[in-house]
Amino acid sequence: MSKYFKYRSLDDLRRDVEERRVGIDLVDDIAPLLSPVTVAGRTLGNRLAVHPMEGCDGTLDGLPGELTVRRWERFGAGGAKLIWGEATAVVPEGRANPRQLLISDETAPHLEKLLNTTRRAHRERFGSADDLLVGLQLTHSGRWSYPEPLLARRAGSIDAIKGLGSEYALLDDAYLERLEDCFVEAATLARDAGFDFVDIKQCHTYLLNELLASRTREGPYGGDFESRTRFIMNVLRKIRDRVGDDFILASRVNVYDGPPFAPDGDNIGRPVAKRDYPWGFGTNADQPERPDLDEPLRLVGLLREAGVSLVNVTMGSPYFNPHIGRPFERPPIDGYWPPEHPLVGVQRHFDATATIQEAYPNLTIVGTGYSWLRHYAANAGAANVGAGRVSIMGLGRGALAYPDFGADLVEQGAMNDKKACIGVSYCTALMRAKNNELGQFPAGCVPRDPLYAAEMKKIGGTANAD
Ligand SMILES: Cc1cc2nc3c(=O)[nH]c(=O)nc-3n(C[C@H](O)[C@H](O)[C@H](O)COP(=O)(O)O)c2cc1C
């Protein structure tokens, strides 16, 4: 029995939304999601996106594995017209796990094959892939890199999570300068492989997200807003110089990091800092449980000026406040019960995204945080699109569970409750499980996909929190 999601109809959900006074609008007619949208001159056939969802199933060399191909193929045949390819490291030491994809001269031909398989799957199912956009997310995992945390800055209570003391070395300026060029090289390889866009990832407290919040870092990459945005602005300028204006640039951005949460005696998450918290981007330093969107708004303005035409708005850290990024029904293995009803978390996503979209009405904004709504996600997405609060609705866990949600929306006009994500965080449990010969289990949807139910059996109760 679900603890939170108890709705038998859209009206049940509407009633709960009203009683809890969360401002989430739900409409019956999902047509706004099925209308086309143009991004930098390319028209997408609908306003449905698959968020980047890594499966931790590449080879140890960073090539796509069998399960990577299976996942992308299913997304390709699924009907969403925006496929935001998963986290792909630009340097080996910046991978988040030993099976994360890596982009290099050696791996690029394999990524090209993965892309072609995805497009072919779409063409075979829908007749054409001309109105499909497929991109790749370029990343460096920073403090969450495997096997060594690589720190952009010191950050008190965040450092404490991994027991990193003040003696732990920071990445120096020369490393960051070289890394800018690695992002440029990676973007060029992705463009040459045929991807429609690259995302320079600035979210979920990975390296570039941390740089945005590096107020206490000295030197060119830390301190004031201009210095904290130097890395991303340099990367975007250099990519443009290298590849010209035709290639679509995108960025997935944390507009709110929030503070770390830790379980109390009842295993309910509580913020470790209630005030004086200088470590978050988009985070009110006096009240870190509240977003402060001033700097994220300025950042999105800069991105737009630098030629970014697609922004995916997201928030939180999967490592220290998972309820913020992924409102859930049941906590992840290393998590806690949420301190708020998941609808509150969904609303936080929607409101922050609307603030960004309303400030930049001509920019294509992809929204996050829909999956907890299960098969009613589209009713919220259509309401948000219809009201100009977002341009495209993305599903993360929802797409892993139900890759063909787009086809069902187009062909049946609704999502199927038997196929939707139920938010029980088993995909995250698999991600956290390291105890096999490859040092990493593949992640996928345990309740909806027998292949991952079998993987879940293998990890038994031994999934660790690392
Ligand atoms: C198994 C798993 C893999 C993920 N991989 C990525 C990733 O590669 N890049 C990224 O930006 N976010 C990643 N995320 C976060 C999702 O894209 C998304 O932001 C999050 O799940 C919230 O959206 P949802 O409510 O639709 O699931 C991942 C999440 C999960 C559970």
Cβ–ligand 1 distance for 253 under 6 Å, the answer no
pLDDT at 463: 36
- Tell whether 464 is covered by a domain: no
Contacts of residues 317-320 at CB distance under 8 Å and 24 or more positions apart, as own/partner, are 317/204, 317/205, 317/257, 317/258, 317/260, 318/204, 318/428, 319/144, 319/161, 319/205, 320/158, 320/161, 320/205, 320/259, 320/260, 320/261
pLDDT tens-digit profile of 9-38? 999 999 999 999 999 999 999 999 999 999
Q: What is the mean pLDDT of the chain?
A: 96
CATH number, residue 99 = 3.20.20.70
| Dist. CA 8 → ligand 1 center (Å) | 27
- Tell whether 5 is covered by a domain: no
- Tell whether 2 is covered by a domain: no
| Dist. CA 55 → ligand 1 center (Å) | 10
pLDDT band at 224 (very low <50, low <70, confident <90, very high): very high
pLDDT at 332: 85
Count of Cβ atoms closer than 10 Å to residue 278 Cβ: 13
- Tell whether 63 is covered by a domain: yes
pTM: 0.98
Residue range(s) defining the domain that contains residue 399: 26-459
- What atom in ligand 1 is closest to the CA of residue 312? 11
86 backbone dihedrals φ, ψ, rounded to 5°: -70, 170
- Tell whether 18 is covered by a domain: no
- Tell whether 152 is covered by a domain: yes
331 backbone dihedrals φ, ψ, rounded to 5°: -70, 155
Cβ–ligand 1 distance for 210 under 6 Å, the answer no
For residues 350 and 344, the answer to whether their CB atoms sit within 8 Å is no
- Tell whether 20 is covered by a domain: no
- What atom in ligand 1 is closest to the CA of residue 368? 23
Cβ–ligand 1 distance for 44 under 6 Å, the answer no
337 backbone dihedrals φ, ψ, rounded to 5°: -70, 140
- Tell whether 332 is covered by a domain: yes
Inform me whether the pLDDT recorded for 449 exceeds 80.
yes
d(CA 109, CA 189): 9
pLDDT tens-digit profile of 372-411? 999 999 999 999 999 999 999 999 999 999 999 999 999 9
Tally the domains of the chain: 1
